Structure 1
Amino acid sequence: MTRKPALIIFILCLTINTVKAQTIPDFMLENLDGEWVSYDELKGEEVTIIDFWASWCKPCMKAMPQIDEIFKEYGSKGLAVIGVNTDGPRSISKVLPLSKTLKISYPIISDIDNELLNELNISVLPTLLMINKDGDIIYRHEGWTAGDEKKLVQQINSIIQ
């Protein structure tokens, strides 16, 4: 009987050690000025938050101004924020005016074909990914409700000292 628990623990240790963090690919997408930019050009020195959103998403509209405030507070400490808009061809024209209305200061790029969205298995908007300087996705947050900004700041503080 003592061998069975030891075997289970051994198998669990092997499983845990083989789990690898998902890494972010170095993608290229168009910004709101029509220029192609890469993740490598936009990423932060310490941590990067990628915010996947759409113009029709009400929680996204609540999240973006709060994320922008966090960006303004932590940008000088190595944080970058990248907004990835997922609107399709019919509604893409709303993105630039909307970002101006919300006074978003972080860069916004367009994933009009949802290739990046699909590659990262994102099915809920907004979805925030936090990526460390090694390119590992270390935190994933889906949806947005009051108080979520505090969770995000906690995660940032755990990385940026």
Structure 2
Amino acid sequence: MKPIRPFLLAALLSASLQAQEAAPAPQELMQRLFDPKANEEQLMEAVKKAGMAGIPRQQLIEAKLVWGLRNQDSAWLTKILPELEVLAANFDRSQSAGLKSADEIRSFIAYTKALQAQDKNDEAGFKSQILEAIWLNPGQAQIFTQIIEKKRMEAKMANLKVDLALVITTHDGEATTLGDQLSDKKALLVDFWASWCGPCMQLMPELKKKAAELSKHGIVVAGMNKDDKDAQAVTAKIHDEQSIEFPWLIEPAERPFTKLLEIESIPRMVLIAPNGQVLFNGHPQDPALWVALQKVNPDIKAP
């Protein structure tokens, strides 16, 4: 199973060449503009310094666009929508940091409008704008259709309930249930992983951080192993190697959760309410996870 990439990450590949293609501009400033780890404050500081250094305004707007796409921040994309429209109307390929055409900009404008329509539960508007995005930028069709797949998944999950009484086992062979693990807490966040899944193992440190932080807000984090062979031994081994201090579970061989939740790839995280309702089902690095967590407890802050 291939891991799900964070949404729209591939859309940023064309902008990854900004440093090389923007030779006239100081390379360090360009790297700060397109730093994937930058928060909003750091981005705006980089934009300010780059503008003072004479980097073209077009590249500054492109940096804002890439940041909004990378962070899946619909509010941010809506905020810069007027700038994107100006950019599309005056696009100069020679001044670009990585984007290739005005239609590529317009496709992201349409995508932003699709997000706006989605927030308003405007089904017709969403379909119209997302299809416009695909039409304008067919090379990124797979990226734009991800939001369609995500929307459909959310609709399915809204009508599902996880069986919290189903008997499963822990890493040390004890019988338990998700209900037992949830107890009287506000929600349960289950991370589905396997030892053969490279990205799963790479994200173990982040999983441990989530477990420690979210426990302060009444949310239980649990790992759910999906290894097909020697699951008990593998789960126990990883538990000890990673010094896990939170629930470490094994999915039954019949894969009841995998089937119910349509888990076709891992890593995958599922946020479950005390009544079994699915509040989130997606990649651990999808920003929508933190939106769902903040609905459970507004005090939770995204990293």
Matched, 1:29 2:29: no
- Following superposition, the deviation at residue 99 of structure 1 comes to 2.1
Matched, 1:47 2:184: no
Residue of structure 2 equivalent to 1:64: 204
Residues 83-102 of structure 1 aligned to structure 2 (within 5 Å): 83-90=223-230, 92-102=232-242
Could you tell me how far apart the structure 2 residues matched to 1:68 and 1:150 are? 18
Could you tell me how far apart the structure 1 residues matched to 2:267 and 2:286 are? 13
Partner-residue secondary structure (3-state), 2:203: helix
**CA shift digits 1:20-51 (9 cap, x unpaired):** 43211122111111111011100161121111
Change in CA separation of 1:98 and 1:132 when aligned onto 2, cut-off 3 Å: same
Number of equivalent positions: 142
Q: Which amino acid aligns with 1:39?
A: L
Residue of structure 2 equivalent to 1:111: 251
TM-score calculated relative to the size of structure 1: 0.75
Residue of structure 1 equivalent to 2:267: 126
Determine if contact 2:168/2:175 at 8 Å carries over to the other structure.
Answer: yes
Determine if contact 2:173/2:232 at 8 Å carries over to the other structure.
Answer: no
Residue of structure 1 equivalent to 2:297: 160
Determine if contact 1:88/1:112 at 8 Å carries over to the other structure.
Answer: no
CA RMSD of aligned residues (A): 2.6
**CA shift digits 1:5-31 (9 cap, x unpaired):** xxxx9xxxxxxxx97432111221111
Larger relative contact order, structure 1 or 2 (CA cutoff 8 Å, min sep 6): 1
- Following superposition, the deviation at residue 79 of structure 1 comes to 0.4
**CA shift digits 1:113-144 (9 cap, x unpaired):** 123322322111111101123321011113x5
Could you tell me how far apart the structure 1 residues matched to 2:288 and 2:199 are? 16
- Following superposition, the deviation at residue 149 of structure 1 comes to 7.3
Uncovered stretches (5+) of structure 2, i.e. residues with no partner: 1-123, 125-154, 299-303
TM-score calculated relative to the size of structure 2: 0.42
Rg bigger for which structure?
A: 2
Partner-residue secondary structure (3-state), 1:74: helix
Residue of structure 1 equivalent to 2:177: 38
- Following superposition, the deviation at residue 94 of structure 1 comes to 2.3
Moved over 4 A (4+): none
Change in CA separation of 1:99 and 1:31 when aligned onto 2, cut-off 3 Å: same
**CA shift digits 1:93-128 (9 cap, x unpaired):** 222122222222211111251233223221111111
Uncovered stretches (5+) of structure 1, i.e. residues with no partner: 1-8, 10-17
